[in-house]
Amino acid sequence: MRTVRKPAGGVRTGWPEGPEDAPPGGPGPAAAARAAASTEGPKTAQPDGARPGRAQPDRSGLSPAGASAPARGRPRRKKRGQWVPPQHGAWAMLLLPYLAGLLSAGFAWPDLPLLVAWIGGYLLSYFALLAVKTRRPARYRDQLLAYGLTTLAAGAVVLAARPQLILYAPVFALALAVNGFFASRRDDRALVNGLVSAAAATLILPVVASVAGGSPWDVVGTFTVVLLYLAGTVLFVKSCIRERENTAMFAASAAFHAVALAVAVWIAPVYAVAFGWYLVRAAGLPRRRMTPLQLGLVEIVSSLLLLVSVALAA
């Protein structure tokens, strides 16, 4: 009785995946292909003028037997987000409070380096939190260095002109600590984290007022309506995408926008149009199953509507 030798390293199941899966002493796939190619079949007549031994093109539209097309690897995707975060909604959250602050408090020259420090600080925090989340800080070393130096240089100019702005640092540090906590748990899309980010973004508004030489209390009304809008947007977007089937999230978003409408009208009647639209948006659009692009266009219009209202209320 003939015994069958089992390949070393244990019994393998399934189809061989490569030459390393061939049993010892046996021909691998590459050797088997060469052996099949070397077998002589019946000779066929060569076309006139054809050189012996040279493969002729197949005009039948079929690939020649035994020929294989060169393996094509999956096309390399261009890595996005290496320097610019792929979060388009974050730019509206950054620029809207800043512009609202300018409309309410006026412009002063330190607002320009403040804008550079504000955007640079966002980019720095994004990659810093990403490093915490992935636990691979070396991967984002270049971004952290570039945006860190940019933020430091622009922030130094602003602090030299308005030293009192250092008083806002603990509040921003607290918000960043909360974001870092959720990033370390890889739960950065949590609702609480989104609301904290909205509050942190709105904090630039009293900073703009302080740069203009005014008091943060001068822009309390504008601060409140911007915060209500950004917080409501966090709820609204979640009810449209990630929590689309969550009726509790939908109800919370609609109820929040109803309260926000009442508060905004109490601050200034001019906000009735904008926040009335936000309520309609929160109550009606989640049921339409809109795409992220459509939601982005809706939010662009909503942001512009708020800025117009702020300008009219100023």
Write out pLDDT tens, residues 188-222.
Answer: 889 999 999 999 999 999 999 999 999 999 999 99
Is residue 150 over pLDDT 60?
A: yes
The letter for the amino acid at 233 is T
Decide: helix, strand or coil at residue 49. Answer: coil
The answer to pTM > 0.75 is no
17 band by pLDDT with thresholds 50, 70 and 90: very low
* Tens of pLDDT, residues 103-118: 999 999 999 999 999 9
pLDDT of residue 208: 97
| pLDDT at residue 80 greater than cutoff 60 | no
Tokens coding 291: 């795409």
Nearest alpha carbon to residue 182 among 196, 167, 164, 199: 196
- Burial (0-12, 13-18, 19+ Cβ within 10 Å), 136: exposed
The mean pLDDT of the chain is 81
What is the spatial distance between Cα 254 and Cα 79, in angstroms, rounded to a whole number? 38
- 8-state DSSP, 45: P
